[in-house]
Copies of this chain bind each other. A is one copy, B any other.
Amino acid sequence: MIPGEELARRDAVDAALEAFVQERRRDLEPLGPDATALLDLARDAVAGGKRLRPTFCRAGWLAAGGDPDDGRIDVAAAGLEWLQASALVHDDVMDDSDVRRGRPSVHRAVESTHREGGWSGDAAAHGRAVAIVLGDLLLSWADQQLRASALPTVGRGLDLLDLCRSEVATGQYLDVLAQTRPEVGVEEALRIVRFKAATYTVERPMQIGAALAGADDAFVDALSSVALPLGEAFQLRDDVLGVFGDPEVTGKPAGDDLREGKRTVLVARTVERAGPQEREQLRRLLGTREGIAPLRDMIVRSGALAAVEKDIADREQAARDALDLLPQAARAAIEPLLLVGTRRSR
């Protein structure tokens, strides 16, 4: 259970996603029966998500005085789930991850189908290719789903979704680039946190919700003061869970971020505390399976874990302080979500 998860109106978001897929089935009927398999993969790709972004989107809507009973916000907010599903499917190809949400990642599952069926050609390449086109399909559905809400304010929501899409792709790029460097400093790691996750997961969804509710630009801007620290705290918690999380709960293998060689803030904070010999050791171990256990030990012993816990607490406090400056209605809508970023276990 995630604090705030009950705020998600999961049923309404799920219904919007399902209705959308059914419409796409009708659109794509002329492409024949094989196309069905791709649509099934698309539906699976949004199953079991935490619906975090729709939750933040709804919070922004309520904060700006949107009608809590207006179902159009759930339809619009569901678009963020297609964007997220696309990012995850492509991310798993990029990181060559085997597992997602406790199940095989899309490219691996498709690879297995290929292999078990004795199909022609290279199974791994086939899995990757299908995952790439699936991610493209999902990405193209994000703005389409937002427009399906038919809210009169949809134009401003789309402008913010534009920023969100560009930021997340570019943030991903910075992350990919960081993996090519022997070391990444704390400042750079925090920049990646901001643009790969904080804007994308919290700030833009919340702003989209507010804009759809008809908020003025000043209010939309003011939400950043709460949403950015909250989003950073969320991603920093994700980084901690990526190293120390329980695989049963996170649905990802233990220490996966270390095995993938991710240059997280947790790693950067370890580097900044390490002597020359430990730095050398860290570089050697990062990105290997054998390195997981000794790196975990190093992260704890160096004080880096405690430092990142302080980073999280500082951001939680900054979000609280900023929230106090917002009008009462906004405070009431956002307050329950403060713990989502910081106290969750998955």
A341 touches B (CB below 8 Å): no
Inter-subunit contact A114/B180 (CB<8 Å): yes
In the complex, how many angstroms separate the beta carbon of A261 from the nearest chain B beta carbon? 7
A94 touches B (CB below 8 Å): yes
Contact with B along A11-38 (1 / 0, CB 8 A): 0000000000000100110111011011
Inter-subunit contact A179/B120 (CB<8 Å): yes
Interface size class on chain A is 35 or more
Inter-subunit contact A173/B38 (CB<8 Å): yes
| Partner among B32, B128, B176, B181 whose Cβ is within 8 Å of the Cβ of A191 | B32
Inter-subunit contact B169/A140 (CB<8 Å): yes
Interface set, chain A 138-177, CB cutoff 8 A to B: 139-141, 143-144, 147, 155, 158, 162-163, 165-167, 169-174, 176-177
The chain A residues found within 8 Å of chain B, CB to CB, are 24, 27-28, 30-32, 34-35, 37-38, 86-87, 90, 93-94, 96, 114, 117, 119-121, 125-126, 128-130, 132-137, 139-141, 143-144, 147, 155, 158, 162-163, 165-167, 169-174, 176-177, 179-182, 191, 195, 261, 287
Interchain CA distance A27-B166 in the complex, whole Å: 9
Closest to A147 in B: B158
